[in-house]
């Protein structure tokens, strides 16, 4: 087995950024989901509520972020000063003291998304714990839904495409890591694995939602509710519809496309 692809999502729910190499931090891949769009009340927004988010590209720079969107001028943003204004934002049941990114970012995003929104940044001081039911004390996560990384096998995506009768893009499931060389859904039975020199623990299967029905290129919802409708036929269990697994790093290191994937347990 080997690592087929690596993706990070600098801005939660925005376009994927494929990379050949990524370093692993306790919160996930370096630069993954460290920026977040929130509504006027500070509650997180994703492609579930605002599908147009998937058409925004957030490109990390050494000193900040560049936002790009169809029909809008690019906007370069500096990383907020760690001593700058913080605001409490809510993501699921968690509250995070994130850094506000300022009026320029808020105005640009509000125009692109067609509603009042704001941008916040997670720096080292903004802490968010992993669900203690599926992690250890001290485990952290970024603005990802709940866990530092998401892994999916390419065979599972291909099997879904055969059931659906047409190819389906793996990016509909927003994985960080795509693994090739194993049977479809082999990841369901993994507990610990090593990719390159870095070990990971499987926290739990990833439960799927309506976001999978949003085309990652156009932001348009599938009129038939696919591929979620097909997934419900064979991937529904007590925890809901699952596809892929959530990972927690158990060490530092850097991952590269082509790295060997070894199941330890």
* Residue after which a domain boundary falls, among 94, 121, 148: 121
Please report the pLDDT score of residue 140 as a whole number: 97
Range of the domain at 102: 32-121
Are 142 and 258 contained in the same domain? yes
Q: What share of the chain in percent tops pLDDT 70? A: 100
Instruction: Note the pLDDT tens digit of each residue in 191-246.
Output: 999 999 999 999 999 999 999 999 999 999 999 999 999 999 999 999 899 999 99
Are 15 and 74 contained in the same domain? no
CATH of the domain at 253: 2.40.33.20
Instruction: Note the pLDDT tens digit of each residue in 249-264.
Output: 999 999 999 999 999 9
Extended strands (E) in 70-223: 72-78, 86-91, 94-100, 118-121, 149-153, 177-180, 192-195, 198-207
Please report the pLDDT score of residue 202 as a whole number: 98
Are 12 and 102 contained in the same domain? no
Are 185 and 217 contained in the same domain? yes
- Position 127 in a domain: no
Instruction: Note the pLDDT tens digit of each residue in 87-106.
Output: 999 999 999 999 999 999 99
The one-character DSSP state at 76 is: E
Please report the pLDDT score of residue 249 as a whole number: 98
For the chain, how many structural domains are there in total?
2
Are 141 and 255 contained in the same domain? yes
* Residue after which a domain boundary falls, among 121, 146, 179: 121
- Position 131 in a domain: no
Neighbours of 183 (CB within 10 A): 10
Average pLDDT along the chain: 97
* Residue after which a domain boundary falls, among 121, 145, 164: 121
Neighbours of 95 (CB within 10 A): 12
């Amino acid at each position: 087995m080997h690592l087929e692809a690596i993706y990070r999502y600098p801005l939660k729910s925005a376009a994927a950024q494929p990379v050949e190499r990524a370093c692993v931090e306790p919160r996930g891949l370096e630069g993954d989901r460290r920026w977040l769009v929130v509504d006027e009340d500070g509650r997180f927004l994703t492609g579930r509520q605002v599908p147009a988010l998937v058409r925004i590209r957030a490109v990390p720079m050494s000193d900040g972020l560049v936002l790009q969107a169809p029909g809008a001028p690019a906007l370069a943003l500096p990383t907020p000063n760690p001593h700058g204004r913080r605001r409490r934002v809510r993501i699921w049941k968690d509250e995070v003291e994130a850094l506000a990114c300022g009026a320029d970012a808020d105005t640009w995003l509000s125009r692109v998304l067609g509603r009042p929104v704001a941008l916040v940044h997670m720096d080292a001081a903004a802490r968010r714990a992993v669900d203690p039911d599926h992690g250890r004390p001290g485990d952290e996560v970024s603005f990802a839904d709940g866990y530092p990384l998401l892994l999916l096998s390419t065979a599972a995506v291909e099997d879904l495409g055969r059931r659906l009768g047409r190819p389906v893009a793996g990016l509909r499931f927003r994985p960080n890591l795509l693994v090739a060389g194993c049977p479809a859904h082999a990841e369901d039975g993994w507990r610990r694995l090593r990719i390159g020199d870095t070990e990971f623990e499987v926290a739990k299967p990833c439960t799927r939602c309506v976001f999978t029905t949003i085309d990652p290129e156009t932001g348009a919802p599938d009129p038939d509710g696919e591929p979620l409708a097909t997934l419900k036929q064979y991937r529904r269990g007590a925890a809901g519809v699952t596809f892929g697994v959530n990972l927690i790093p158990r060490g530092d290191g850097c991952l590269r496309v082509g790295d060997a994937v070894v199941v330890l347990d």
